[in-house]
Structure 1
Amino acid sequence: MLVSLNWLKQYVNIDGIEPAELAEKITRSGIEVDAVIDRSQGMTNVVVGHVVSKEKHPDADKLNVCQVEVGVGDVRQIICGAPNVAAGQKVIVALPGARLPGGVKIKKAKMRGVESNGMICSLQELGVEGRTVPKAYADGIYVLPEDAVPGSDALELVGLRDIVLELGLTPNRSDALSMLGVAYEVAAILSDEVKLPEINYPTTAESAESYIKVSTAASDLNPLYAAKVVKNVKIAESPLWLQHYLMAAGIRPHNNVVDITNYILMEYGQPLHAFDYNSLNSNEIVVRLANEGEKIVTLDNQERTLNSHNLVITNGKEPVAVAGVMGGANSEVTSDTTTVVIEAAYFDGFSVRRTSKELGLRSDSSARFEKGVDPNRVLLAAERAAQLLSDLAGGEVLQGTVLVDQLDKTPTRVVVSPDFINARLGMKISLEEMLSILHRLQFDVEAANGLLIIDAPTRRQDINIEEDIVEEIARLYGYDEIPMTLPEGMGNVGGLTPYQAKRRVVRNVMEGAGLLQAVTYSLTSDELAQKFALKVEDTTKLLMPMSEERTTLRQSLIPHLIEAASYNVARKADSVALYEVGSVFLGKTSEELPYEEEHLAIVLTGKWVDNAWQGEKRNVDFFVAKGIVVALFDKLGLSDRVSFEKGSVDGLHPGQTATVLLDGEKVGVIGGLHPTERKKADLKETYVAELNLYAIINATTEALVYSPVPRFPEISRDIALELDRSKAAGEIERVIRGAGAKLLKEVKVFDVYEGEKIEAGKKSVAFSLTYFDPERTLTDEEVTNAHNKVLKALAESGAEVR
C-alpha cells in the first residue's frame, strides 16, 4: 500500500512530524513501513513553462525549436523532440543547472548546431513510473492546465512535492488498504482525530428507481448491492490533484469517472464500478452465478470463459462484469458516456478469490474483496462517488439508491478482562491506559464488572477473539515496553553443539581462504536434481511447484553454485569464489520424508591471485580447489586420514577430477567443469568441489596433542622416479609411506616432468623425503637403511629411479 502524505493530511493532522519519524512510529505499532519515498527525488530548477512558438529544427526532422517563457519576460530557446509539443501549451521545464532523477544534470547545449537552454520534460523524466502516467502523455511531454503560471514550481503543481510511505501489510490488516484505514491507524498512534469526508450534493427530482432495478439470485455471495444513477456526466480529464493522488498510489489516471471510482477505492477501501447506462441496453441489473462456459470480454479486452460457480453482474441477459474482479468491455465508460450507473456492493471474499484465480485476473478490487471490505462503508462509498461525480464531472445525481440489502453489519463483540491482557503480556497496564488505547483506536468499549466489553468497528475485521485485543493493547502501548525476562528454570547458559562448532570452523576456513558464502534454492529442476550428486537416491518432487525450475529437491549443491557464478560473471565480476553449506535430500526416511544430509560445495572461476602492482596473476586451477579442501581437513584434524583418487563424474573434466576419501570411504569430489558445461554456463575455466559435511564433521578425531619443538635435526633425501603417465602420484606416495616406517616423517611431490628428455608415455615425478627421530640424531647408516627399504618397495611397484 502506497500512502501519499499530502493525501493523508486530508484526514489526520500530521503537520509537525517528520516523515521518517512517522514511519518509525507506524512500524513500531505493528505495520511495517518498507520505504519512505521522496517523490521530488531532490530535483531542483524545474518550473512551469509556456510554449510561445514552435518551429521545425533546420537539420533534424524529429526535433523542434521552441521559444518557452519560463517567467515574466524570460523566454528561452529549447530544443524538444516530443511528438506532442505545441505552441500555447503549459509544460514542465528543467532549466540549466537542474538535477533530475538518475543523476541527470541539465546544461546549455547545442543540438545539431542549434542552442538549447533547458529541457521540456515528460513525467517519466521526473521519476514517475511509466505505468502510472496517463496514456495521453505516455509517449511525450506532460501538458499542464492553461491556468498554470510560467516560472512557478512545476513539482508542486504535479504533486511531486510529496512523501510516500510504502506499507508492507500482513493479510489480516486489510483495513489499512485504504487512506481512511491508514488515517485511523495514524490517529491512534498520534492520539488525534480522523476527519471524515463531508458528503453533500444536490439531487434531481427524478428517482434512480425509475431508471434501474436491482435483484440478486445469489444473496449468500452478494448480500448487498447498491446502484446510483448520475445523468449528464461530462467525460474529461480529472483535475490535477486527483490525478496526482492516484499516481502517487500507483494507479494510472484515465478519465474523471473512472478516476473517481479508483479514488474512492483508495480512500474508503471499497471497490466501485461505473457502467455506461446506455450500453447496458437494459433497465435492470441482475446478479447471478454464470452459466457453465458463458463468456465475457473484460476491460482488458480479453475473452474469459466462466464456470458455473463464478458470480457475474448481468443486464438480465448477458454478463456485464465479473463480480468483484473486473468490468466488461460491453458496458465500459467511454468519451461518449452521459449517464452512469455506480455499483457499490459487498461480495463474498472466497468467491472473488476463486474466480480471480481461475481467470488468472487479479485487480485492486479483487485484492480488497478477498481480504474483506467494511460492510458499513459500502453505501458511504456510493454516496461519496455521487458527490464527486456532481462536483468534478458536472453530473446530476438522481434521487435515492436502488438497493438489495441482506448484509449483517453488526460489529463483533469481544469480552476480555484486564487481568487476562496483563497476564498474556507479562505487564501491569492500568485499566485507564487500556481504555485510552481502545478509545484512540475508536473501539466502542465499556468497563463493567471487571471486564472490558468491546464492539470492534466493522472496518477491523481482524478483531474476533480476546487475543486480538491483547495485540491491539500491546502494539499501541509499545512492544518495546514489554519487560525482558528469562523463563523460569533457565539456569544454564546455552552454547553450540559440537556439530555446530565444527560447522562454524568450516565456514571460517572457507572465508579465510577468500570465498564468499552463497545461499541458493533447495528446489531445482528434475534435470539438475541429481547432477554432480555424491550419492544418487530417489528424488522428492513437489505436488504443486511454482515453476518447472523449482520442482524437485536437490541432491547436489553444485548446479546452483554454478548458476550463481554464471550470474556474477555476466555482471562483470570476472573472478568468483563461492561456497555454500546446505542440505541435500536423498531418498526417504521410514516416515516417508526426504532424508537430509548437510554438504559443503565450492565453485571457483577467474583469477585466484591478481596483484596488478607486482604484475602477479594466477588463474584458479585444480590444485587451488584441492588446497582449500586439504586446508579444511587439516583444520578439522583429519589430514592424515584423507586421500584422493582419480575420479569420474558426469559434467566434470575426466582428466581433472578426484574423489575425496576419508578412511577409505568416499566423502566428496573435486574437479574442473567440463568444457561443454562451461559453455552452457558461459564460464571460463571453472573448478568445483562438494563434500559430505555430515560425514566429515561426525568423524571421530583424536584429542589434540602438542609436541615440543624438536631438538634433533631432520635429514632429507630426494628421489626422481620414472612412471607411466597413467600412474597416480598419490599411489606412489602411499608406497613410500608404507615402506618408510616410523623414521619417515614427511613425503612431498616437488616436481613433475613430461617432455623430450623422457620416454613417450612416461613422466618423471620427484619426491622429497624427510627422516626424523624426536629422541635422537639419526646416523647416516640408519637413514640409508630406511631409504633403501623405500627404494626396494618402489622397484617392486614398478617405479624406476632416474
Structure 2
Amino acid sequence: MLVPVKWLKEYVDFDLTVTELADKLVACGFEIEEIIDLSSKIQGVVVGQILSLEKHPDADKLQICSIDVGKDQPVAIVTGATNVKVGDKVPVALDGAVLPSGKTIRTGALRGVTSYGMLCSGEELGLTEADYRGASVYGILILREDAEVGKDINIELGNDDIVLDVAITANRTDANSIVGIACEVAAVTGKPFKGVDVGYQTSGGNIADSLKLENLAPDLCPRYLAAMVKDVVITESPAWMKNRLRAVGLRPINNIVDVTNYVLTEIGQPMHAFDLSTIKGGKIVVRRAAENEPIVALDGKQYLLQPNQLAICNAEEPMAVAGVMGGQNYSIFDTTDTIVFESARFQRNNIRRTSRALNLRSDSSARYEKGIDYQSQRTGIDRALTLIAQNGWGKIVGGELDSFPNPPKPNIIGFTADDLERILGVRVPEGEILKILNALQIATTLKDGAFESIVPGNREDIVGVNDIAEEVIRIYGYDRIESTLMRYGKMVVGERSKTQRVTDKVKNLLVGKGFCETVTYSFISPKAFDLLGLAAEHPLRTAVRLDNPLGEDFSVMRTTLIHSMLKTLSVNMLRSNKSAALFEVAKTYAPKALPLTELPDEPYKLCLGAYATDFYAFKGVAEELLDVLRIDAGFRPVKVDFLHPGRSAEIYERNYGVVLGYLGEVDSDVADRYGMDKKVYVAELNLDLLIERACDFDSFRVISRYQSVDRDLALIAKTDVAADRILSVIRAAGGELLTESSIFDVYCGDQIEKGYKSVAVKLTLQSADHTLKDAEVNAVVDKVLVELGLKLNVTLR
C-alpha cells in the first residue's frame, strides 16, 4: 500500500524522519518495500516569472527572456516558444537541472546568446492535463498566477512528498488505509491520533421520500448504507486532492469519483455513486442475479451474471456488480443533479469468486477481497459527505437508508498482566499495557489488576488473549525480550532421518549422472489422462478434483508424475535443447474412493525422464540407483498404456516380489501428442518403498587380493525367456565365487533357429582367500549350465 507522509501527518503529528518512521513500522510488524521520493524525477526546476521578451538578433524564431527566478538577478533564457508573454509564470530548468526523461540541462549559447537554462513544457515535465491544467497545451506550460516565484516546481505540482510502499499482511485488513497506518504510527511514536474529520449540515428533506432500499441477500451483503446529495456540481477536484490520489497511483477523474477513491484510500471503505435519475422505480434492490442476467460495466463490456453473484439493482435491472464495478449506464454524468452514495459490506469470498468468474477486477473488489469491517461503512459515508459539504459540491439530503439486520456483538477480552507474561516471557508494566492498547484504538480499562479490552470491529484478527499479547509486545518492542538459554531438557545431537538420507542419496546419484531436478505443479488438467492414452477405467484416472481451481488446466490433483515430466521434456525439445535428463521427487494423490470420504494416499514418487539416449543406458541408471540403495531388484516385461510394449519393464524386488515401479520408452503416439519427435524414456518409482527397503548404512567388505577369472558363455534360449530370468538363475547357481554377471549381447538371426535367441553372458569369479583353480571355475560354470537347462531350458550354444 502506498502511504504519502504528508497525508499521514494529518492524523499524527510526528517528528521522525522518513527513515526513522520506516524503521518504526518495520519494528512493529510491517515491511517497507520502498521509500519513494516524488520529487526525485524533477530536480533543479523552479517557478519563474517573465520580466521581458526580446527578439533574438540572429534568429527570427527565437526570443530572449529575462526571468525572475527568486535570485538577486534575473536570468536570460533563449526560447523558441510563441505562447509566452510578459508576466507569465513558467517552469524554469536552471543549469544542472534534471528532467523526468533523464536529460540534464546545461548553460549554453544559442546563435551567440548565452541561455542559462530552459523553459519547460508540460510534456517535458512528464505531466498530463489531468496532472496540471494546461499541461497538454503545445508550448511552454503556463503556471497558475499565484505560483510563488523561486519555489521548487515540485511544490507547485504537488510532488513535494515522500511515499512509503508498505506491505500489509493478510491478517491486518485494518491497516489497508491511511487511517489504519496512522493508528499504528500513533502507537509506536506515542503521539495522539487526531481522528477522522467528519461533520456536515443537511439541507432538509429525507432520502426515504424519494428512494427505498430492499436487501434480499443479507448473507452476501451484511450491511448496505446509502445517502443522497442534491444540487450536485460536477467539476474537477482541487489540486490537493488530485495530488494525493496521484501519489497513491489513482487517476483523478472528477470531484464525485475522486471523493469515492479518496475515501477508499483514506478510510479503506469502497464506495460507489449512482445518478438518482437512473434508479428506476425509486428503489435500490440488493439481490442475487438471475441466470445470464446482462450488465454493461464501466469498462464498456457486457457481462452475464449468474445466480451465485450479487447485483445492485433498481426496480428493473442491475446497476452494478456488487463490490466489483458499476454499470456504464448508471455512472455519474456532467448533467447529474442528484447522486446516491453507496457504502456497503459485501461477503469477501463471494466478491473474490465473482471477480474471478467474470475476469473483472477493480480497486474496490481488491479491497473487498481483503475484508472490511462493520464500522467503516458509517465512517466512509460520513467522510464522503463531509468532503462534499466542505467543498460546496452539493447539498446533503437528510436521513439515510441503512440495512443492517445482524449487527455483531463486540468481542470483549479479559486478562491480567500475569497472563501476558506467561505468553511473552517478559513482564510489561500495567501502565504500558493500558497505554499501548488504547493507542491502537482497542478500548481497554484496568480495575483491580484485571484488564478488559473491547476489540474494535476493524480488528477481526484479535480473538483472544494471545492476540492481545501480540499487539502489546510488537509496540512495546521485541528487542526488549532478553535472549535466554533453555532451562529444561537435555541437549541432543540432531540427525537426519532415513527418509532424508535416502532421498539425498538418490538425488546426488542422479545429479552425478547428469540429471537435473525439476519441480512442477501438483495440479494438472483432466486432459492429461487422454494425452497419456489411459484406458477409460484406468486407476490413474481416479483423481481428486478441486472445488475452486485456478483454471481447468489446474483442476485435478495428479496421480502420476509422468504427465508433468513429459510436458517439461516437451518444452526442452521445442526450445531446441539437443538432450535432456530430468528427475522429480514429489507427492502424488490417490483417493481410495470418490467422492472423498477420507484423505487420499499421498505416496512420494521418483520420476525420471530423458531423450537423446537409449533404452539400455536409461535402464542402467535405474539399475545403478537400485544397486546403490542395495535393493535386489529385477526387471520383467509389463504393459503400460503410454509405454512401448517391447521396450518397457516393471521393476520389482526379487526377494518379496514387491513392485517398485516401471520404466520404458514412451509410445510414439503419446510422444506425438506432447509435440515430441524423438524417442523419450521415462521411469516412475515409488520412493516410499525405496526408502523402506533401502540399506542406507555403509558396510565394509574386504577387497580380494587374488586374481579374478572371467568366463563368457553363449547361451541359446527361447525368445520369450527374459534376460532378467537368465541372470537370476545364474546368480543363484553361482554361489559365493560368482561376484558379477551381466549380459553383453543378444542375437537373433539366420544362424539361430526360429523362435530362439543367442544370449552372451559374462561371468566374473573370485575368491577372497585363494587363487581359483580351473577345476573350481569349471565346477561353477557347469552348475550354472545345469540350472539354466533345468529351470529355463537354456543350453550352451
TM over 0.5: yes
Quick one: which amino acid aligns to residue 560 of structure 2? Answer: S
Matched residue, 2:604: 598
Q: How does 1:28-177 map to 2 (within 5 A)?
A: 28-31=27-30, 35-36=33-34, 146-147=142-143, 163-170=163-170, 172-177=171-176
Give, in whole Å, the separation in 1 of the partners of 2:637 and 2:137.
67
Give the stretch that moved more between structures: 650-659 or 706-715. Answer: 650-659
**How many residues are paired up?**
730
Matched residue, 2:399: 402
Give, in whole Å, the separation in 2 of the partners of 1:300 and 1:365.
14
Of 687, 690, 694, which residue of structure 1 is paired with 2:684? 690
Q: What secondary structure sits across from 2:588 in the alignment?
A: strand
Give, in whole Å, the separation in 1 of the partners of 2:517 and 2:166.
31
Quick one: which amino acid aligns to residue 604 of structure 2? Answer: E
Contact in 1 for aligned 2:713/2:796 (Cα 8 Å): no
Give, in whole Å, the separation in 2 of the partners of 1:48 and 1:635.
76
Does the C-alpha gap of structure 1 residues 167 and 289 become closer, same or farther in structure 2, counting only changes over 3 Å?
same
Of 755, 758, 766, which residue of structure 2 is paired with 1:772? 766
1:182: how far off? 1.8
Quick one: which amino acid aligns to residue 636 of structure 2? Answer: E
**CA displacement, residues 202-228 of structure 1 (integer Å, 9 cap, x when unaligned):** x79x54649974543449767663424
Give the stretch that moved more between structures: 184-193 or 247-256. Answer: 247-256
Does residue 554 of the first structure (1) align with residue 577 of the second (2)? no
Q: What secondary structure sits across from 2:431 in the alignment?
A: helix
Quick one: which amino acid aligns to residue 773 of structure 2? Answer: T
Give, in whole Å, the separation in 1 of the partners of 2:183 and 2:325.
29
Q: What secondary structure sits across from 1:660 in the alignment?
A: strand
Give, in whole Å, the separation in 2 of the partners of 1:656 and 1:416.
71
Give, in whole Å, the separation in 1 of the partners of 2:574 and 2:92.
39
Q: How does 1:355-394 map to 2 (within 5 A)?
A: 356=354, 360=358, 363-365=362-364, 368=367, 373=372, 377-386=376-385, 388-389=387-388
**CA displacement, residues 453-486 of structure 1 (integer Å, 9 cap, x when unaligned):** 3334444344454443233223333456386776
Does residue 443 of the first structure (1) align with residue 446 of the second (2)? no
Contact in 2 for aligned 1:295/1:303 (Cα 8 Å): yes
Q: How does 1:119-518 map to 2 (within 5 A)?
A: 146-147=142-143, 163-170=163-170, 172-196=171-195, 198=197, 207=204, 209=206, 213-218=210-215, 225-229=225-229, 231=231, 233-236=233-236, 238=237, 242-243=241-242, 245-246=244-245, 249=248, 251-280=250-279, 286=284, 297-301=296-300, 302=302, 312=312, 314=314, 320-321=319-320, 324-337=323-336, 339-347=337-345, 349=347, 353=351, 356=354, 360=358, 363-365=362-364, 368=367, 373=372, 377-386=376-385, 388-389=387-388, 395-398=392-395, 401-404=398-401, 412-478=411-477, 481=481, 495-518=495-518
Normalising by structure 1, we get a TM-score of: 0.72
Q: Percent of aligned positions with the same letter in both sequences?
A: 31
Q: How does 1:614-763 map to 2 (within 5 A)?
A: 619-638=612-631, 641-663=632-654, 664-683=657-676, 684-699=678-693, 701=695, 705-719=699-713, 729-734=723-728, 736-750=730-744
Does residue 581 of the first structure (1) align with residue 585 of the second (2)? yes
Give, in whole Å, the separation in 2 of the partners of 1:544 and 1:11.
44
Give, in whole Å, the separation in 1 of the partners of 2:783 and 2:78.
101
1:714: how far off? 1.6
Does the C-alpha gap of structure 1 residues 429 and 655 become closer, same or farther in structure 2, counting only changes over 3 Å?
same
Does the C-alpha gap of structure 1 residues 627 and 252 become closer, same or farther in structure 2, counting only changes over 3 Å?
farther
Does residue 544 of the first structure (1) align with residue 547 of the second (2)? yes
Give, in whole Å, the separation in 1 of the partners of 2:674 and 2:699.
47
Gaps of 5+ in 1: 51-66, 79-87, 107-116, 606-618
Give the stretch that moved more between structures: 339-348 or 406-415. Answer: 406-415
Does the C-alpha gap of structure 1 residues 774 and 8 become closer, same or farther in structure 2, counting only changes over 3 Å?
same
Give, in whole Å, the separation in 2 of the partners of 1:17 and 1:625.
64
Give the stretch that moved more between structures: 427-436 or 511-520. Answer: 511-520
1:690: how far off? 1.0
Contact in 1 for aligned 2:207/2:397 (Cα 8 Å): no
Contact in 1 for aligned 2:208/2:400 (Cα 8 Å): no
Give, in whole Å, the separation in 2 of the partners of 1:637 and 1:351.
52
Does the C-alpha gap of structure 1 residues 577 and 242 become closer, same or farther in structure 2, counting only changes over 3 Å?
farther
Give, in whole Å, the separation in 1 of the partners of 2:155 and 2:795.
85
Q: How does 1:527-542 map to 2 (within 5 A)?
A: 527-528=527-528, 536=539, 539-542=542-545
1:434: how far off? 1.2
**CA displacement, residues 570-600 of structure 1 (integer Å, 9 cap, x when unaligned):** 6676654432223333452897443333321
Does the C-alpha gap of structure 1 residues 793 and 248 become closer, same or farther in structure 2, counting only changes over 3 Å?
farther
Give the stretch that moved more between structures: 671-680 or 243-252. Answer: 243-252
Give, in whole Å, the separation in 2 of the partners of 1:405 and 1:782.
102
Give, in whole Å, the separation in 2 of the partners of 1:133 and 1:687.
62
Question: What value does the CA root-mean-square deviation take over the aligned residues?
Answer: 5.7
Q: What secondary structure sits across from 1:402 in the alignment?
A: coil
**CA displacement, residues 72-115 of structure 1 (integer Å, 9 cap, x when unaligned):** 8878999xxxxxxxxx9x9999x9999999xx999xxxxxxxxx
Give, in whole Å, the separation in 1 of the partners of 2:164 and 2:750.
75
Does the C-alpha gap of structure 1 residues 367 and 786 become closer, same or farther in structure 2, counting only changes over 3 Å?
closer
Quick one: which amino acid aligns to residue 181 of structure 1? Answer: G
1:254: how far off? 3.2
Contact in 2 for aligned 1:208/1:401 (Cα 8 Å): yes
Contact in 1 for aligned 2:609/2:681 (Cα 8 Å): yes
Quick one: which amino acid aligns to residue 681 of structure 1? Answer: Y
Q: What secondary structure sits across from 2:400 in the alignment?
A: strand
Contact in 1 for aligned 2:121/2:139 (Cα 8 Å): no
Normalising by structure 2, we get a TM-score of: 0.73
1:656: how far off? 3.4
Quick one: which amino acid aligns to residue 629 of structure 2? Answer: L
Give the stretch that moved more between structures: 487-496 or 729-738. Answer: 487-496
Does the C-alpha gap of structure 1 residues 164 and 230 become closer, same or farther in structure 2, counting only changes over 3 Å?
farther
1:778: how far off? 1.6
Quick one: which amino acid aligns to residue 178 of structure 1? Answer: S
Give, in whole Å, the separation in 2 of the partners of 1:41 and 1:574.
52
Give, in whole Å, the separation in 2 of the partners of 1:571 and 1:783.
55
1:333: how far off? 0.9
Give the stretch that moved more between structures: 664-673 or 474-483. Answer: 474-483
Quick one: which amino acid aligns to residue 547 of structure 2? Answer: M
Contact in 1 for aligned 2:211/2:283 (Cα 8 Å): yes
Give, in whole Å, the separation in 2 of the partners of 1:757 and 1:47.
96
Give the stretch that moved more between structures: 304-313 or 578-587. Answer: 304-313
Give, in whole Å, the separation in 1 of the partners of 2:461 and 2:441.
15
Q: What secondary structure sits across from 1:175 in the alignment?
A: helix
Does the C-alpha gap of structure 1 residues 266 and 742 become closer, same or farther in structure 2, counting only changes over 3 Å?
same
Contact in 2 for aligned 1:235/1:255 (Cα 8 Å): yes
Give, in whole Å, the separation in 1 of the partners of 2:795 and 2:746.
14
